[in-house]
Structure 1
Amino acid sequence: MTNLNRTPSQRKIPGQLYLWLAVLIFGASSAVTRKLTELGAQHFMDGHNPISLCNVLFVGNLCALLVLLILYGRQWNRANLRQLSQRNWVNLTLVAILSGAIAPALFFQALALTQVNNVVLIGRLEPPFTLALSIWLLRERSNRWEVIGTALALMGVLLTIFLQPSLQGMNFRIAGVGESLAVIGAISLAISTIISKKWLSEVPTAIYGIFRTALGTIVFFFAALVLYGSHHFVEIFSPFLWRWMLIYGVIIVVLGQSFWVRGLRASTVSTASLISSFTPIVGVFAAYWILDEAPTQAQYIGGSVILFGLFLSQMGSLQMAHRRNLPQVEPMEVENGIGFKGL
């Protein structure tokens, strides 16, 4: 009888389910990206991999931009654009370069040089660095659980990095470069998050997302041309590439972003932050399932410390959210905390 009396809003899919679906997709994105490049390596064209990491990033960004224009294109209008100050545009440009071009490029290159699990776990360096910058630059308050949890997460990342030389022997040089790139990528995302929180909180999410993706794609394209040459994109129009990128775009970009945005609109800050903290767990399982990449001893040790730190940090965040009685979540702030999402 109770079910018959429910209103349409009570029968709708809960926002938490959309967030979980998005986290499953985002967590698996690194493993999916590596798998695609392996498929491309089996179908070389004129001596080149048609699904190179650069092509995946460039075409993936184009797919993301198309989705954003479909979802938010109406909000990109003259009235909204006129409300932005010159400082807003400068900071939007910085964020676009850091989080839309530099960080993704570094993570993609890291995926080419080290294990997916390393990229997933080391990417969790972003929250500790963001918290430290928030306290230092933004004078934000944090309780002891957040500080302790963040410190443990940082310790876990360091353990993941520095326990590997003795366990991987001669592979340390290659793995070390990939891990270093993942660290710099995480720091770039953290800096962009601080800029967003400090100076872009009033910028509409639609303008923020479209501008970041568009400018990030342009900057990455020209940077790749300078660093690698025009031949690096010679397979960009390959039917084989676009066939797989349509699948990649639909799953990672369209479904992932759509589920995430819909879930954010119906969730609180604490709920979205808690669910997003499970991203590294999904990433590790995805690497094993998709790539048969079992965690190393260093990753087990470091990952366990990271997860315990995330648990304590989430306890602190829940306490802070409860005390402040926070309303609906701000999409940019929580989304930046997820880290690498495959694009």
Structure 2
Amino acid sequence: MQNNHTKNLAFLLLATLFISTSGVLGKYIAMPPEAIILFRALFAAAFIYLFCRIKKIDLSIHSKKDKLSFLIGGFFMGAHWVTYFYALKLSNVAIGMLSMFTFPVMTALLEPFFSKQKLNGVHVLLALLVLLGVYFLVPNFSIENDEAKGILLGVFSALCYSLRNLITKKSVTNYNSSAIMLFQLIIVSVLLLPVLFFSDISNFNSQFPFLLLVALLTTAIGHTMLVNSLQNFSVSTASIIGSIQPIFGIIIAYIFINEIPNKNTYIGGSLILLTVVIESIRSKKSSKQTK
């Protein structure tokens, strides 16, 4: 049992590491966010479709209710990605990622409305600790600067991500995680197709390798692993453990694009990392009690 929990936790952390590459790639790719997300979704959908065919994964949808669930989940996934990448463009990797990681706060508060699970006071306290970490990131808030706009978009992205995860949670017991991601990616692609007619994609050829990378590593692999981990963790637990993602992202940004965090980033990041450690220990004990 202990080995299973450790394995599941390691799987979730690896998924988080892969997803963390989105910060650097979102900042680095020289295209408008909506165009990046369109190609990200299209390429990732192609990768996952091929994987599903090779593994002979059932891609049938069982009911109209499930179709609606995938449609809504795909909409919130697309909204999350676009606003998140705008947050990265307006600010930097640290601010964009950490502001988006208010989503554990929202998830902990919203999850009781989506399941029979009662509001967990520990989750709320840990989520507030994450929020405190974000506060240390930019204590001098002004709506006039791009960093403030980036934070607001990051917070809105967090809301969309929370809703997407909570809606998706209901499908993980009845559908393969790769199939769920494929359905949602198709929705995102269809919704963003008009981007081809009004967005600047003139440098598509030069950015193609990076678009493939964000589609394969971050999306097809990382997000599919995250969806799969929802079979073993509640959305709140997965969200709070996933709060280590900005730490990974900041380290990757330092290595590849030489973004150096300031003092407040270290403080905020430390608080976020603390919540990950606490929730990892707490969820391990909870797993033992329910086995």
TM range (shorter): 0.7 to 0.9
Q: 1:172 and 1:262 mapped to 2: Cα distance? A: 37
- The residue that corresponds to 2:4 in the other structure is none
Q: 1:55 and 1:282 mapped to 2: Cα distance? A: 25
- The residue that corresponds to 1:181 in the other structure is 153
Corresponding letter in the other structure for 1:61? A
1:133 positional shift: 0.9
Contact 2:24 2:257 in 1 (8 A): yes
Whether 1:140 aligns to 2:117 is yes
Q: Cα 1:247–1:132, aligned 2, differ >3 Å: closer, same or farther?
A: closer
TM-score, scaled relative to structure 2: 0.81
Q: 2:8 and 2:281 mapped to 1: Cα distance? A: 21
- The residue that corresponds to 1:36 in the other structure is 29
**Which of 51, 63, 88 is the aligned partner of 2:43?**
63
Q: 1:218 and 1:72 mapped to 2: Cα distance? A: 20
- The residue that corresponds to 1:307 in the other structure is 273
1:72 positional shift: 1.6
Structural mapping, 1:282-321, within 5 Å: 282-321=248-287
- The residue that corresponds to 2:95 in the other structure is 118
Q: Cα 1:261–1:185, aligned 2, differ >3 Å: closer, same or farther?
A: closer
Q: Cα 1:204–1:183, aligned 2, differ >3 Å: closer, same or farther?
A: same
Q: 1:247 and 1:88 mapped to 2: Cα distance? A: 30
Structure 1 residue ranges without an equivalent (≥5): 1-13, 38-50, 326-343
Contact 2:20 2:245 in 1 (8 A): yes
Contact 2:87 2:150 in 1 (8 A): yes
Q: Cα 1:182–1:251, aligned 2, differ >3 Å: closer, same or farther?
A: same
Percent identical pairs in the alignment equals: 18
TM-score, scaled relative to structure 1: 0.70
- The residue that corresponds to 1:235 in the other structure is 202
Contact 1:127 1:190 in 2 (8 A): yes
Whether 1:92 aligns to 2:85 is no
1:173 positional shift: 1.8
- The residue that corresponds to 2:57 in the other structure is 75
Contact 1:125 1:153 in 2 (8 A): yes
1:290 positional shift: 1.7
Q: 1:308 and 1:286 mapped to 2: Cα distance? A: 20
1:242 positional shift: 2.3
Q: 1:156 and 1:275 mapped to 2: Cα distance? A: 15
1:231-283 superposed Cα distances (whole Å, 9 cap, x missing partner) = 414427x432324434444543456468x379959x9549x948744322111
Q: 1:253 and 1:287 mapped to 2: Cα distance? A: 18
1:282-316 superposed Cα distances (whole Å, 9 cap, x missing partner) = 11111212222122233223222222233323333
Q: 1:197 and 1:264 mapped to 2: Cα distance? A: 10
Q: Cα 1:251–1:193, aligned 2, differ >3 Å: closer, same or farther?
A: closer
Q: Cα 1:269–1:193, aligned 2, differ >3 Å: closer, same or farther?
A: closer
Corresponding letter in the other structure for 2:110? L
SS at match of 2:261: coil
Q: 2:28 and 2:273 mapped to 1: Cα distance? A: 25
SS at match of 2:259: coil
- The residue that corresponds to 1:3 in the other structure is none
1:63 positional shift: 1.3
1:138 positional shift: 2.5
Q: Cα 1:319–1:117, aligned 2, differ >3 Å: closer, same or farther?
A: same
1:65 positional shift: 0.3
Structure 2 residue ranges without an equivalent (≥5): 1-6
Contact 2:130 2:272 in 1 (8 A): yes
Aligned length: 280
Contact 2:90 2:147 in 1 (8 A): yes
Q: 1:215 and 1:235 mapped to 2: Cα distance? A: 24
Structural mapping, 1:78-227, within 5 Å: 80-81=60-61, 83-84=62-63, 86-99=64-77, 101-141=78-118, 144-161=121-138, 163-165=139-141, 173-198=145-170, 201-222=173-194, 224=195
Contact 1:149 1:311 in 2 (8 A): no
